[in-house]
Amino acid sequence: MNLILLGCPGAGKGTQSKLLAQRYGLAHIATGDLFRAQIAQKTALGQKVESYLKSGTLVPDSIVVEMVAGKLGECSSGWLLDGFPRTLEQAQALDKMLKSEGKTIDMVLYLNMDEKAVLARMTTRRSCASCGELYNTISKPPTTEGKCDKCGGELKQRDDDQETTVKKRLMVYEDLTRPLIAYYRSEHAFNEVNGNQPMEKVTGELVAFVDQAKVAR
């Protein structure tokens, strides 16, 4: 199965994608995580994209599309895209790529989120520097402050989770990514879940939609 999870920054895409990918045996392709790994490893790609992530603006389409094409090429079974596509140009490039390989998108899941609530969520987000597990000091605190429950790694705040950068990211989302909702609603199987609900409720509703898609295949 090939799925896309859409939503504004902080909507819960990463949290839910990890659970869905594990449950359905899908490759989790998260463009933000891929870029952060490249930056941490100080690769040429990491150096090229670092300033975009720091400032909360989008990495140029050509760079993102090339990276995702490489990742999709490595996937023999299904995938779940988290954070891609983010512009109409990226969505069209993905459609072209899939068409040439005779593949399709089975479902687009949209986490609809009150953007006013996002700021509080993101400034309290923490992630494990070793395994990437996500936490939140309010909604999902670790058992021991600053330590990952899973691997004991150090919990860190993302550089782009400062209030001014979050506001910038939300503006970029409104301008460049929100139009994708109409694009996918009209052309693909599209389902919406209220991302303001507790995590388990969001997961349950997403799972119900994916199960429906599985039956329909």
Q: Name the residues annotated as catalytic.
A: 13, 86, 125, 158, 169
Helices then strands, counting H and E runs in the chain, come out as 9, 8
Sheet holding 79-82, edge to edge: 27-30, 79-82, 2-7, 107-112, 190-194
Residue 90 CB, nearest distance to ligand AP5 (Å)?
Answer: 6
User: Does 180 engage in binding with ligand AP5 (CB under 6 A)?
Assistant: no
Nearer to ligand AP5, 24 or 124 (CB): 124
Residues 40-99 that bind ligand AP5 (CB under 6 A): 52-53, 56, 58-59, 64, 83-84, 86, 90
User: Residues 125, 136: contact at Cβ < 8 Å?
Assistant: yes
Region binding ligand AP5 by CB under 6 A among candidate stretches 9-17, 100-108, 143-151, 181-189: 9-17
The amino acid at residue 9 is P
User: Does 145 engage in binding with ligand AP5 (CB under 6 A)?
Assistant: no
What is the spatial distance between Cα 72 and Cα 21, in angstroms, rounded to a whole number? 15
Which residues make up the interface to ligand AP5 (CB under 6 A)? 7, 9-15, 31-32, 35, 52-53, 56, 58-59, 64, 83-84, 86, 90, 121-122, 125, 134-136, 139-140, 160, 169, 198-199, 202
